[in-house]
Structure 1
Amino acid sequence: MADVAEVIGRRGGSATFADLRAVVSGRAIRGALAAGVINRVAKGVYALPAAPSALTAARSQGGVVSHLSAAEHWGLGVITPPPLPHVTLRPGRVRRQAGLPCVLHWADVPALDDVTTPLRTVLDCLRILPPAEGLAIADSALRLGSVDHDELLAAATRLRGPHRLRIQRVVASADGRSESVLESVLRALLISRGIEGFVPQFVVRDAEFSARLDLGNPRLLLDLEADGFEFHGSRRALVKDCRRQANLTIRGWRVLRFSWEDIMYDPDWVIATIERAIGLPPLSNRLLHAA
């Protein structure tokens, strides 16, 4: 039984009957089932009780982990985790009624160990996600070195089907210097309004001080900070932030700090604040003037 569990564990927590029979006996498989060491999740598919749900669901359907579930697998910047695993089947395959619940897609896709490749994963996510969430995934894939920007641009150029142009625009804007999904979403807001000149992780440095800005505009001396609570929720972090802001201020920089709630739930206010800081009139006035 230990051998069966070990074999399944080496395969990520699930395996087909054929995979198991290549290295263990049918009697061992039946014994592991009877003892509750493994579970039968679909016809000919077995899994450890604590197996990753996405990989188990994919194997129970005869497909591969894809889209947001593959992004989670590769450690990319997923803003909203999927409530059900995403699985891609080869064209012509049908849903297995006995398989685990999942969101199914159909396509011929490149995969590694039953998960779509990082490049394919990014493109799949860009097709189904809003631009800001897609940009967060593309940025993180570049930052982690999971994909190469030139390779991603070339793959986006070759795309066919729905949302092709939107995907290409997001890929062209992707930047591996962004260090968090919140920075990516803030940058996506700027892009959506045509606001330029902000550089991800811009470095301010002199003989006495050095700091990296989430989004710095060196011409306007304006710093936009995307503040997640996990990095700013302690007394020590507060002291560090205060000193950092004071040092930037005496060097002529203005700092606008936006919380997760600001960026994710009140983007219009965020953009209006930034536009006011850079001297743009409200959008409604600009539209009226243009008309």
Structure 2
Amino acid sequence: MDPAVALRELGGVGTLRELLAYTNRSQLSAALAAGRIHKPRHNRYCLADLDGSMRAVARTGGTASHLSAALEFGWKLKHDPVRPCITLPRSARKPEGAYELHWADLSERELRRDVTSRTRTVIDCARAYDFDVALCVADSALREGILDADDLVIAAARSPRTGRAKALRVARAASPLRANPFETCLHVIAMSVPGLDVVPQGEVPGVGRVDLLDRALGMVIEAESLEHHWTKAGLQRDVDRYTKAARLGLVVLRFSWMDVMFRPDDVRAAIEDVVRWRTMQAVGRHGLVA
């Protein structure tokens, strides 16, 4: 797979080990030489030009924030920022140039380090962006292990009134269990389906962990990337795994990265159809028992 495509599926940022699950070293070197991907530091590859974001910080006198700050921390995102995200002190004038600009009171440490704090970055994204974009940031922050869920909920509750409800929603929904933005975005779609109540990384006896599980309806929803499924061994593992799930009476829905990121309405409609049928089947079984 092309390294840029692989990085996009990984959330815009990846290690060498993560990338080699999708591509090879020669393709990686060629993509680096062509400037299609970047290596800002040891064992760190990304799509966005982080040096460009920091040059924007220097030009504007502001601080990298929002999605630019998230990239600086190495967090995985639904998509890279279209423009460098910069927060300026409230008294600063609007600079010339193509930036995503915000104004706020900045701490001395944030001004000195040229990047907003981790907690602030999560809350800023939650207040500024759509739920799925912001939840990808929050999930990635929790997976890093420096922040915990309580930190985010407390910070969201203390955030400015404008956007506080959005921040609280993201903070309460955030989880380190979802492995990447692909799984996060699939879960967000599932959250919008009435009658469905899935948990991430649910354990199924004899099958193992699945991406999303609704025990009551007997539904498994999987985010299928090429990372674990492009070899003969991976194919056989899939066949065994999903045959075991079927023998337990589970319905398995599998969606690709392209489905989730570019056809979310189709994914939602497919899930809704299965929820409707499983609900009808559950009602029928209940009626027979009665």
Is TM-score (shorter-chain normalized) higher than 0.5? yes
Matched, 1:258 2:266: no
Once the two structures are superposed, residues 130-171 of structure 1 have per-residue CA deviations (whole angstroms, 9 ceiling, x without a partner) of 111111111121122232111111111122243321222222
Per mean C-alpha deviation after superposition, the further-off stretch among 190-199 and 236-245 is 190-199
How far apart, CA to CA, are the structure 2 residues paired with 1:115 and 1:194? Answer: 40
How far apart, CA to CA, are the structure 1 residues paired with 2:155 and 2:195? Answer: 27
Matched, 1:216 2:213: yes
Matched, 1:70 2:66: no
How far apart, CA to CA, are the structure 2 residues paired with 1:129 and 1:177? Answer: 22
By how many angstroms is 1:90 displaced? 0.9
Matched, 1:229 2:202: no
How far apart, CA to CA, are the structure 2 residues paired with 1:212 and 1:51? Answer: 35
Residue 82 of structure 1: aligned partner: 81
How far apart, CA to CA, are the structure 1 residues paired with 2:154 and 2:194? Answer: 24
Give the aligned residue type for 1:71. Answer: A
Runs of 4+ in structure 1 deviating by more than 4 angstroms, as ranges, are none
Residue 58 of structure 1: aligned partner: 57
Give the aligned residue type for 1:102. Answer: Y
How far apart, CA to CA, are the structure 2 residues paired with 1:278 and 1:103? Answer: 40
Per mean C-alpha deviation after superposition, the further-off stretch among 175-184 and 88-97 is 88-97
Residue 13 of structure 2: aligned partner: none
How many pairs are equivalent? Answer: 228
By how many angstroms is 1:255 displaced? 0.8
Tell whether the 8 Å contact from 1:189 to 1:267 is kept in structure 2 after alignment: yes
Matched, 1:191 2:191: yes
Q: 1:231 to 1:109 in 2, by over 3 A?
A: farther
Per mean C-alpha deviation after superposition, the further-off stretch among 134-143 and 228-237 is 228-237
Give the TM-score taking structure 2 as reference length: 0.71
Q: Which runs of 5+ in 1 are unaligned?
A: 1-49, 282-291
Q: 1:166 to 1:193 in 2, by over 3 A?
A: farther
Percent identity at matched positions? Answer: 35
Q: 1:166 to 1:245 in 2, by over 3 A?
A: same
Residue 267 of structure 1: aligned partner: 264
Tell whether the 8 Å contact from 2:53 to 2:84 is kept in structure 1 after alignment: yes
By how many angstroms is 1:237 displaced? 2.3
Residue 93 of structure 2: aligned partner: 94
Q: Which runs of 5+ in 2 are unaligned?
A: 1-48, 279-290
Tell whether the 8 Å contact from 1:109 to 1:120 is kept in structure 2 after alignment: no
Tell me the secondary structure at the aligned position of residue 268 of structure 1.
Answer: helix
Q: 1:96 to 1:130 in 2, by over 3 A?
A: closer
Q: 1:266 to 1:51 in 2, by over 3 A?
A: closer
Tell whether the 8 Å contact from 2:195 to 2:275 is kept in structure 1 after alignment: no
Tell whether the 8 Å contact from 1:222 to 1:255 is kept in structure 2 after alignment: yes
Matched, 1:146 2:146: yes
Q: 1:222 to 1:74 in 2, by over 3 A?
A: same
Once the two structures are superposed, residues 16-70 of structure 1 have per-residue CA deviations (whole angstroms, 9 ceiling, x without a partner) of xxxxxxxxxxxxxxxxxxxxxxxxxxxxxxxxxx972212211222111111011
Q: Which has the higher contact order (CA 8 A, sep 6+)?
A: 2
By how many angstroms is 1:101 displaced? 4.6
How far apart, CA to CA, are the structure 1 residues paired with 2:106 and 2:277? Answer: 45
By how many angstroms is 1:190 displaced? 2.2
Q: 1:51 to 1:163 in 2, by over 3 A?
A: closer
Q: 1:280 to 1:139 in 2, by over 3 A?
A: farther
Tell whether the 8 Å contact from 1:136 to 1:181 is kept in structure 2 after alignment: yes
Q: 1:51 to 1:96 in 2, by over 3 A?
A: same
By how many angstroms is 1:78 displaced? 1.0
Tell whether the 8 Å contact from 1:57 to 1:101 is kept in structure 2 after alignment: no
Tell whether the 8 Å contact from 2:193 to 2:272 is kept in structure 1 after alignment: no
Q: 1:51 to 1:216 in 2, by over 3 A?
A: closer
Residue 244 of structure 2: aligned partner: 247
Equivalences for residues 109-188 of structure 1 within 5 A: 109-110=106-107, 111=110, 113-188=113-188
How far apart, CA to CA, are the structure 2 residues paired with 1:109 and 1:121? Answer: 12
How far apart, CA to CA, are the structure 2 residues paired with 1:203 and 1:144? Answer: 23
Equivalences for residues 11-30 of structure 1 within 5 A: none
Tell whether the 8 Å contact from 1:200 to 1:213 is kept in structure 2 after alignment: yes
By how many angstroms is 1:210 displaced? 4.5
Give the TM-score taking structure 1 as reference length: 0.71
